[in-house]
Amino acid sequence: MSFPQISHLPLIVLSLILTAPFSAFAQTPEQDAPDEIIVTGTRIPAKQDSIGNHVTVLDGETIELQGMDSIGDVLRQVPGLAVNRTGGFGGLTQIRLRGAEANQVLILLDGVEIAPAGQGEVDLSSLLTSDIERIEIIRGSQSGLYGSNALAGVINIISRRDAGSGLRANLEYGAFDTSYGQLAAYGGNDASYISGTYARRETSGYDASLLGNEKDGGETSNALLRAGHKFSENFTLDLWLRYGDKNADTDGFDFSGGPNQGLAFDDDSFTKSEDWNSAITAKFSLLQGRLDNKVIYSYSQSKQEGGAGALVTFGNDNERRKLTLQSTYFWQAGANNQHALTGFYEREEERFQNLYPFDPSQIPTLSRDLNGYGFEYRGNFSDRFYLNIAARKDENDAFKDAQTASINAAWIFPKSQTRLHASAGKAITNPTFFEQFGFVPGTFTGNPNLKPEQAETFDIGIEKTFAEGRAVADITLFKSDLRDEIRSVFPSIANDSGTSKRSGIETSLNANLSDNLRFTSAYIYLDASEADGSAEVQRPRHQANFNLFGQFANGRGNYTLGVNYQGERLDTDFRNFFTNGFSSEKTPLGAYTIARASASWQLNEHLQLFGRVENLFDTDYQETIGYGVPGQAAYIGLRVGL
């Protein structure tokens, strides 16, 4: 698969805009889009069925019904996602989409990238389910729109925004001496709005190592503030500010070569992190609404530290500044064909500092900048056929430039209630600061000559609605070839010369069994192999989940039942590291099935009682070699709405 050069992209976009037909466009897609819109898979909001990529949208009501307080636990229920946690509730929690690595999935919060610049990935243990409106998961390469890290897809967590004014609060207590609280306040009118949310979870935790009885607890806090004002019909300004912090007890890892080599053990280790994210967005339209413009400036600052006892031994401070300029022109060709062309430019500056350098070479603040520009075309042909094309070029000052592109299409057949969808693209993930520059010379040396990882992806699927619209089934086949994968070559790192292959099938069935009972299910088959043909770690070949959502007592009561199956997968094993000549092994971890249940009861107009049980049957299993998991756990709480 090859893609055209886009070095003259600004001139191409300008010429297309100037020569586009100036037919009257009664309403822009932002104005007439129905409720089922997504804002992630395109530069402007679009109907979900107009996107050719396989899309999943988790609505806030479903998230609330399940009662989970961690974004990582919510995402475990999504087809094609594998979530893995190392250690206790505050342990590193990673997500793998269609077999991709954690830093090959771009995670956004309200459209803002929140991964620390130093790591390139989000630790999901730091994200709580506080006031979520919905979560959008777009599979397939999205680098043509978003640049680096959108290699396998994008996850956009969208916060709740209500009309009018009000107050909401949640209080929950349960297993492992865990307490969770959330307070949200909002107000506004047609011209202005403001909303704020604060959530905090504290837990004594459980013993995450398998060699002792010390509990690994922690605290996590999230705060979010949103405000905006509509100065005129053609100009609005929005402000967004997020704060997050996490303090987590962790365990040591035995690398002594003794009897517990390669296993976690109890000690007084800890990690902590603090994140600030902010954005200001100006939107203004011209040409009677046919030309929409956005200017977005965002700033992120992250600090991570760790150590043992009262001694902090490692940490880093990093920041990202990003400026985005975007213009979209809408036009209509004929009575039923609508088109949009978007041109965009992004300037990104990243900085990284090792706070506790072990060597003079680690003292300087590191920096790197990039300029990205591209375009997206969207076409709607008679509300039957939709075409989306995007291309982008990233100019990097610290490593090789990259060109990416994507195309997706959806074709709707109303009479048979069938939709075909397909997508293809070329995507990248840039090296992290750690990979480029290392951290501790003599232990891990960086490689300044690394190239971005690149993948060519393809998927095709069919969606069928039946039973008079009460049921929807989808089956999607996908394939991805990853080249220049960045791999550890102890004590350094390098681009792999081979190709890692990932392919599989995603199936889902959602049905309204009655007015009071809803059913969702999914099964995923994944074949993910390294360049040498061996299976990749933490990629279960088989995954499945099933959920029931029910109502009773005329809607005053709700309940959910869920089952999650994770098939056998490999994990990296260091137990024989020294006897194998300083090399790890891949050891199978057994398959497991866990169930959960939740219920709620509306006491009155303002009060709701709720509860949930995780790991309903107290299943014993392992996600990571050397670490235990929590057993059966029950929680109860109260929701207040005013």
DSSP 67-119: T--BHHHHHTTSTTEEEEE-SSTTS-EEEEETT--GGGEEEEETTEE-S-TTT
What is the residue whose two structure tokens read 């974004």? 71
Burial category of 400 from C-beta neighbours within 10 Å (exposed 0-12, middle 13-18, buried 19 and up): middle
What mean pLDDT is predicted for residues 330-351? 94
Alpha-carbon gap, residue 217 to 205, rounded angstroms: 4
Q: Which domain holds residue 65?
A: 9-641
Tell me, what CATH number does 144's domain have? 2.40.170.20
At 373 the pLDDT is 96
pTM for the full model?
A: 0.91
At 441 the pLDDT is 55
Residue 92 falls inside a structural domain: yes
At 1 the pLDDT is 38
Average pLDDT, the chain: 90
Which tens digit of pLDDT belongs to each residue from 72-92? 999 988 877 889 998 899 999
At 7 the pLDDT is 39
Alpha-carbon gap, residue 625 to 589, rounded angstroms: 8
What is the residue whose two structure tokens read 């490692």? 314
At 396 the pLDDT is 94
Residue 489 falls inside a structural domain: yes
At 599 the pLDDT is 97
Which tens digit of pLDDT belongs to each residue from 135-159? 999 999 999 999 999 999 999 999 9
Using left for φ > 0, alpha for ψ between -120 and 50, and beta otherwise, residue 60 falls in alpha
**What proportion of the chain, given as a percentage, has pLDDT over 70?**
93
Alpha-carbon gap, residue 510 to 471, rounded angstroms: 6
> Quick check: 323 and 360 in contact, CB under 8 A?
no
Would you say residue 301 has pLDDT above 50?
A: yes
Helix or strand run (H / E) with residue 64: helix 60-66
Domains held by the chain: number: 1
Residue 3 falls inside a structural domain: no
Would you say residue 10 has pLDDT above 60?
A: no
Would you say residue 30 has pLDDT above 70?
A: no
Residue 482 falls inside a structural domain: yes
**What proportion of the chain, given as a percentage, has pLDDT over 90?**
78
Between β-strands 105-109 and 153-159, what pairing exists: parallel, antiparallel or unpaired?
parallel
User: If DSSP states are collapsed to H, E and C, what string results for 266-320?
Assistant: CCCEEEEEEEEEEEEEEEEEEHHHCEEEEEEEEEEEEEEEEEECCEEEEEEEEEE
Residue 212 falls inside a structural domain: yes
Would you say residue 297 has pLDDT above 70?
A: yes
> Quick check: 630 and 207 in contact, CB under 8 A?
no
Residue 538 falls inside a structural domain: yes
H helices of 345-458, in order, are: 433-437
Would you say residue 325 has pLDDT above 80?
A: yes
At 122 the pLDDT is 94
Between β-strands 235-249 and 178-188, what pairing exists: parallel, antiparallel or unpaired?
unpaired
At 87 the pLDDT is 87
Would you say residue 34 has pLDDT above 50?
A: no
Alpha-carbon gap, residue 178 to 84, rounded angstroms: 21
Would you say residue 17 has pLDDT above 80?
A: no
At 12 the pLDDT is 33
What mean pLDDT is predicted for residues 445-460? 92
